[in-house]
């Protein structure tokens, strides 16, 4: 592979623009907007930050898990809403919580193999707007009571293989790895403290695109520019919450689990050749990626398999990695994978995670990539890994390399 500009090769997958919405709490600040609108907002901002006109985009891959009632082709809705032309191919990806990351991996592959030069990837979810299902509505209701199915639980938060909630898998993980309630609560409190510190320092401003919420009936609009989850936090109350999934001896609570939420995140990926030709500022390169899977009820520790595979794919070693993001589906997930991979706690989720910020299912895989890039920029890191587990026993992981000390070096056109 011929070098086109110093450390950037012609078929390198370069990240040149990123954006995420604030994460709204369940029925919170963003609940009036569908996932597709949130997706459009993130895509439009990422393209503007990248300096890439929408007409130059060749393909879009966007994660979305809870698609009921969104209408046809939600990824296409998000893309067209961001000004991307009708001629651009758009595909929605559903790999449960890893959807946004898997979308990014597929986008990267199309660039690496010379299929595309400009791709938008990411994910979106509005858990607040997921409908409830009347499953007998099609055939008619006869004698007796009808049952309404919660679409969010059914299609997003339920292990269909064992017929129990994801939280039961978290309890199983805690038991298998001897992780106590106290450890989980302490981790959750740390997540909130780190998230609040990052917010206060302005660390998230690089990531977040403010969202305007129309007021209606003559009322002024509201601008949302902060994550809802960080606003309400009481450490003493968190430690007193009852277990949510296991009455006797349970350790997983609403406080040490991730927040049900709404949001979207987008990344603009281009080839090294395209970055040079158009004089774009390259934030980072995608160095490697991998998936892994094991038994459905053990999805919680699948990142401990995917992350080493991704590091190997990147040609690096674990000793090269400066910072990690592992999605905090539950506090026990981060703790278990941290232990299995022997990660220094000071290098994991240093700006908080899903426990404090939120976990919009289809968005989170992309969101943690955006946050990881921000961490590398602000902490003078070079290599980072993001890993995320997904229902059904799987996980995905991506390795990134910051291109320069500021994370936005212009690749010289003269290198062509």
Q: What one-character-per-residue DSSP string does 312-371 give?
A: HHHT--GGG--EEEE--SBHHHHHHHHHHHT--GGGBSBTB-TTTS---HHHHHHHHHHH
pLDDT at 412: 45
Per-10-residue mean pLDDT of the chain, 416 residues long, equals 58 97 98 98 98 98 98 98 98 98 98 98 98 91 90 98 98 98 98 98 97 90 97 94 95 98 98 97 98 98 98 98 98 98 98 98 98 98 98 98 60 42
Which one of the listed residues 169, 278, 359, 363 is annotated catalytic? 359
Terminal alpha carbon distance of the chain = 14
Which one of the listed residues 14, 45, 90, 97 is annotated catalytic? 97
Distance between CA atoms of residues 314 and 311, nearest Å? 5
pLDDT at 414: 37
pLDDT at 232: 85
pLDDT at 416: 40
Identify whether 359 is a catalytic site residue: yes
Radius of gyration of the chain (CA): 21
Name the DSSP letter for residue 208. B
pLDDT at 413: 42
pLDDT at 4: 36
Helix, strand, coil tally for the chain in percent (to 5): 35, 25, 35
Identify whether 389 is a catalytic site residue: yes
Distance between CA atoms of residues 124 and 100, nearest Å? 8
Which H/E stretch holds residue 45?
A: helix 35-50
Distance between CA atoms of residues 306 and 391, nearest Å? 14
């Amino acid at each position: 592979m011929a070098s086109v500009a110093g450390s950037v090769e012609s078929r390198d997958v370069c990240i040149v623009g990123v954006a995420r919405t604030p994460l709204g709490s369940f029925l919170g600040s963003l609940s009036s907007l569908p996932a597709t609108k949130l997706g459009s907002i993130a895509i439009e901002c990422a393209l503007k930050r990248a300096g890439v006109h929408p007409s130059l985009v060749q393909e879009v891959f966007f994660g979305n898990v809870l698609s009921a009632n969104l209408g046809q082709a939600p990824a296409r809705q998000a893309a067209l809403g961001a000004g991307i032309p009708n001629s651009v191919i758009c595909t929605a990806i559903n790999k449960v919580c890893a959807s946004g990351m898997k979308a990014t991996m597929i986008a990267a592959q199309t660039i690496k193999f010379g299929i595309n030069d400009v791709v938008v990837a990411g994910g979106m979810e509005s858990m607040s707007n997921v409908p409830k299902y009347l499953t007998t509505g099609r055939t008619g209701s006869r004698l007796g009571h009808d049952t309404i199915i919660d679409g969010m639980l059914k299609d997003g938060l339920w292990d269909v293989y064992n017929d129990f909630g994801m939280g039961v898998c978290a309890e199983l993980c805690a038991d298998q790895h001897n992780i106590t309630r106290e450890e989980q609560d302490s981790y959750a409190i740390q997540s909130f403290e780190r998230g609040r510190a990052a917010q206060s320092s302005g660390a998230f401003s690089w990531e977040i695109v403010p969202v305007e919420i129309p007021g209606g009936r003559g009322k002024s609009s509201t601008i949302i520019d902060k994550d809802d989850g960080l606003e309400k936090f009481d450490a003493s109350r968190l430690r007193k919450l009852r277990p949510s999934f296991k009455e006797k001896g349970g350790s997983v609570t609403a406080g040490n689990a991730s927040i049900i939420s709404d949001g979207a995140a987008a990344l603009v990926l281009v080839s090294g050749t395209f970055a040079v030709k158009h004089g774009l500022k390259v934030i980072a390169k995608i160095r490697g990626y991998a998936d892994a899977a094991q038994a459905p009820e053990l999805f919680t520790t699948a990142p401990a398999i995917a992350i080493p595979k991704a590091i190997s794919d990147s040609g690096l070693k674990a000793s090269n990695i400066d910072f990690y993001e592992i999605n905090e589906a539950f506090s026990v997930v981060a703790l278990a994978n941290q232990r299995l991979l022997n990660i220094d706690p000071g290098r994991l989720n240093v700006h908080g995670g899903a426990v404090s910020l939120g976990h919009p299912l289809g968005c989170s895989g992309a969101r943690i990539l955006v946050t990881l890039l921000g961490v590398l920029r602000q902490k003078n890191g070079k290599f980072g890994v993001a890993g995320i587990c997904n229902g059904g026993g799987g996980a995905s992981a991506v390795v990134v390399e910051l291109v320069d000390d500021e994370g936005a070096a212009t690749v010289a056109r003269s290198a062509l």
